[in-house]
Structure 1
Amino acid sequence: MKDNFSTRSGAYRKFRPEYPQEVYEFIQKHLKASELAWDCGTGNGQVAGKLAEFFGRVEATDISKNQIAHAVKRPNINYSIQAAENTSFPNNVFDLLTTAQAFHWFDFDQFYSEVQRCLKPNALIAILGYGLFSSKPATNLVIEYFYNEIIGPYWDPERKYLDEAYKSIPFPFEEIETPGLIQSYNWSIEHLVGYLRTWSAVKHYERKNGKDPVEFIEKDLRTSFGKSNEVNFPILFRLGKNRKG
């Protein structure tokens, strides 16, 4: 698993979008039990915090010490620094595993082996993410140019799985059809610019060139977007049941 997000962990928590309440309600509807959940690649603990509202206990893991340091704190969340593919958890203990905007960084085969070891029979696995946002047409043009032309060569190869809406990933579970969801916000231009600066390709560009690539489009972005506007994130959501047992 790659660690692209230890730097600017505070910004990641401040600017990254969340998941709609409908995601958690849909998961709850299909749960067999809600004693223990595992949020893998927890990052800032955003999803772990929501799970803690309806689970007795949540184990939240990440390889980034800095991300965990900035994570949501709840009395029933236990954070630990562990790789997704190799944990210290016992066999057959979790009722649910979630991984949000992190799965594409994992070694799929090793991760799934660990998932099937740790999940109870008929427990759920939820893979969450969000695709490239859209806004007003003029802003979309600026963002598409930035995404493809300026920082395009700096995206990790794994980014393609998000661009493909997680539909091309292996998913060896009994799949449950999920609803199509959009998360919408009215963001200020400052929030939008801050969000762009959390992108992994932006960080890669900065490290290689010593320059912030967002500056190349910031003027056009401010002109097209205005002081505030709507942004819409397509939610990627796959849900499955552990087949063993």
Structure 2
Amino acid sequence: MANLFLKQAKQYVATRPVYPPELFDFIASKTPRRDMAWDVGTGNGQAAASLATLYKAVVGTDTSAQQLAYATRLPNVRYVHTPPDLPLEGIHATVAPPASVDLITVAQAFHWLDLPRFYAQARSVLRPNHGNYWALNRRMVDDEYRSADFPFDPVEGETHTGPFEFSTQRRMDLDDYLMYITSWSAYQTAKDNGVELLDEATVQEFAAAWGGDGKEVKTVTYPIFLRIGKLRSEE
């Protein structure tokens, strides 16, 4: 997965939408403690930076060293490059000791995870009966993550684990929007296989739909679907 983003780290930073503060306020309100948060698949650290305003310490991990090179640097955030095959002992040594994490987040990377391995890691590092887990967008976006295997109990004050819907917006002109598309892994995969999804004809279709010379700045709205839960009482 990491190699898919080697060519697009700069575009990713420049064009990815920023998550709304109320999303993280909602999540943080469900964790009894705010000592430690772990952002899995942190990329350029967008979610980690937001968590840093709410938690004493944040660790962001990613399989792409190139993405981490562009991650936001903050005093209470550290970044760790984690190979996909890193054993649980490695997680404990480099990411977090057992039963020490209050919150685990996965922002737009849930579909890349080996879920059984990840859930085992989550159960190991989360504080018993205190940790939360959440996920955003991708892969299962068509059903808003309703079909995702999510073996956790509802957090306090809720009767289900979601999805809860939020949204964020970004102002873009046509060039910005096309650059955003080039940050998609699907675009890079197609390009690596000799297919240019943004060929001249496609770009012209976008331009016609956008109107004018493409310089008009428009508001692009991104839906966000949140799954959030806590460890089951027997765990």
- TM-score bin (small chain): 0.7 to 0.9
**1:231 aligned partner, one-letter code:** V
Alignment partner, residue 162 of structure 1: 141
Higher strand share: 1
TM-score, scaled to structure 2: 0.85
Task: Give the aligned length.
Answer: 215
Query: Hey, what's the Cα distance between the residues in 2 that align with 1:167 and 1:241?
Result: 17
**1:33 aligned partner, one-letter code:** R
* Alignment of 1:91 onto 2:93: no
How far off its partner does 1:228 sit? 2.5
How far off its partner does 1:163 sit? 2.7
Pairs within 5 Å for 1:16-95: 16-83=16-83, 86=87, 87-88=91-92, 89-95=96-102
How far off its partner does 1:77 sit? 0.7
* Alignment of 1:234 onto 2:219: no
What secondary structure, in the 3-state scheme, does the structure 2 residue paired with 1:92 have? coil
What secondary structure, in the 3-state scheme, does the structure 2 residue paired with 1:233 have? strand
Pairs within 5 Å for 1:149-228: 159=139, 161-176=140-155, 177=160, 179-209=164-194, 212-215=196-199, 216-226=201-211, 227-228=216-217
1:81-133 deviation line (CA, Å, top 9, x unaligned) = 114674233210001111100011111111101100000012333323236xx
Alignment partner, residue 110 of structure 1: 117
What secondary structure, in the 3-state scheme, does the structure 2 residue paired with 1:204 have? helix
- The answer to whether the Cα contact below 8 Å between 1:126 and 1:237 also exists between their aligned partners in 2 is no
Alignment partner, residue 156 of structure 1: none
- The answer to whether the Cα contact below 8 Å between 1:43 and 1:62 also exists between their aligned partners in 2 is yes
Structure 1 range deviating more: 9-18 or 171-180: 171-180
**1:129 aligned partner, one-letter code:** L
Q: Any stretches of 5+ residues in structure 2 without a counterpart?
A: none
What secondary structure, in the 3-state scheme, does the structure 2 residue paired with 1:68 have? helix
How far off its partner does 1:174 sit? 0.6
Query: Hey, what's the Cα distance between the residues in 2 that align with 1:28 and 1:232?
Result: 24
Q: Any stretches of 5+ residues in structure 1 without a counterpart?
A: 132-158
